[in-house]
Structure formats: C-alpha cells, structure tokens
Amino acid sequence: MAADTRGALRPLNYFSSPQFVRSDLKAGVLRSRGGTRLIGISEDFLRGFVVACEHETGPATSLVLRRCGRFFGARLARRCEDEISSYLGRSLRDGTMSEFEVVLQDLWTACGMGELRIDWSRGQFGFLSAKLVNSPMQDIGPKGHVADDMFEGVIEGFIDHFAGDDFTCIQTGDVRLGDREGTTFVLVPRDWVSRVRTLLAGKTAHSQLVAQLSGA
C-alpha cells in the first residue's frame, strides 16, 4: 500500500488491477489506465520472430534478441515509472525498496513475463541475483542455443533505468537444461563480466557463483 496526494492508502497492484486495461472502441485500441497503448503478443508471434531472426542474422540471433530485450526493458521501466508515479502522486523513486519490489513483481506477472524474483540483499556485495519463473521465452529460442537472451536484455534494461546504467545481466542457469535452481541471472558491474564468464565456463552452478561473488 502507498499514500496518494490526499494521504489515503492506494493499493500497489496497479498493473494486475482489472482497471489497468481500458478499451478505446472508437480508436480500436487498448490502453493502460495511464494512457499507454497496449498490444498482446502470442507465443506463435514470438516463435515466428525468433525464426525470422535466425533466417536473417544466423549466429548473431542471440545478440539481436538480447539487444531487442534491452531496448524493450528500458522503455518498459520508463513507462512503469511514469505511470506509477502519476498514480501514487509522487515519484516511485521516493518510495521504499519493498514498495518497488511489489510494483516490479506486479508488473512482470500482469504483463505475462513470468515471475521475477530479485535477491536485493546481494546489493551490499555490489551485484544482484535474480530468478525468472515461467518465462514466455522458456520454450522458444534459437536452434541449438538454450538461453533466455531476450529476458537477459529485458532485465538489464529495466534495472539499469533505475540503477544508473551500471549493470550487465548474465544468465547463469536455464530450466530447459534441467538446472534445479531454474532460469537464473546475475546483474554485475561491467568489470566483473569476465570473472563471471570464467566461472560459468567452469560449470559453476548459480548458487555457487553467487557465493563466490559474495566473498563466501
């Protein structure tokens, strides 16, 4: 819950609220309660998009998906901040971390992007750990390449908007590979990337990698 400009408490389920999606019959479009135009994307569309990328860009597909994801994540963060700040009557950045986490989880699940869980406690060590459950790209991806490149970019772009463009998101586990910890990521400073890549090349599991980065 959060206070509005009149001091009353407002629920933080802004995106999952039934009032979030509004139809504009005259224009024939859907908009959010904040006025953002919305579009629904099916798994078939995503699958076709990946196939088209493979056909046009070949081995560069993973990089293309990651860059598309980062662009989308950054734009999504800006829209989220603008709409939530207007809804609350104050800047989202002036709220607590617990409030931000509620908004983030509500956004992710309501928009059909799975459930994003971020371990904010790792921030004291200079990085963040994340897990994505039921990613819409979970069963979609370039042939012979099992990785959630799209959401690696989406998470990076979204968090960077609030953190100041300092993090690189690296996937550390994939549920499709049978990783017991699921589809996991770390967001680390750019000068940590080579260290993380080296650990991953050595088959270091997500929990072990997080422990090492935490100095354990």
Q: Which domains does the chain have, with CATH numbers?
A: 2-213 (3.30.1380.20)
Q: Is residue 208 exposed (0-12), middle (13-18) or buried (19+ Cβ within 10 Å)?
A: middle
What is residue 35's predicted lDDT score, i.e. its pLDDT?
86
Looking at the predicted structure, is the pLDDT value of residue 3 above 70?
Answer: no
Vertex 52 angle, CA 47 and 58, to 5°: 115
Of 182, 151, 146, 191, the closest CA to residue 169 belongs to 151
Contact assessment for residue 135 and residue 124, using Cβ atoms and an 8 Å cutoff: no
How high is the pLDDT of residue 143? 67
Q: With 70 as the cut, is the pLDDT of residue 63 above it?
A: yes
> Exposed/middle/buried for 83, CB within 10 Å: 0-12, 13-18, 19+?
buried
8 pLDDT band, cuts 50/70/90, is: very low
Quote the pLDDT of residue 177: 82
Q: What percent of the chain has pLDDT over 90?
A: 62
DSSP class of residue 190 equals: G
Long-range contacts of 117-126, Cβ-Cβ distance < 8 Å, separation of 24 or more: 119/210, 122/210, 122/213, 122/214, 125/213, 125/214, 125/215, 126/188, 126/189, 126/192
Output the CA–CA distances (angstroms, integers) from residue 97 to 16, 17, 62, in the order listed: 20, 21, 32
pLDDT band at 73 (very low <50, low <70, confident <90, very high): very high
- Report, as an integer, the average pLDDT of 142-155: 84
- Average pLDDT value for residue range 44-69: 91
* Structural element, H or E, at residue 187: strand 183-189
Write out the two tokens for 18: 């039934």
> Going by C-beta distance under 8 Å and a sequence separation of 6 or more, which residues neighbour residue 51?
none
* Cα 81–chain centre separation: 14
Q: Is the pTM of this model over 0.85?
A: yes
Average pLDDT of the chain to the nearest whole number: 89
Q: Which of 33-37, 124-128, 153-157 has the lowest mean pLDDT?
A: 33-37
Alpha carbons 150 and 141: distance in angstroms, whole number = 9
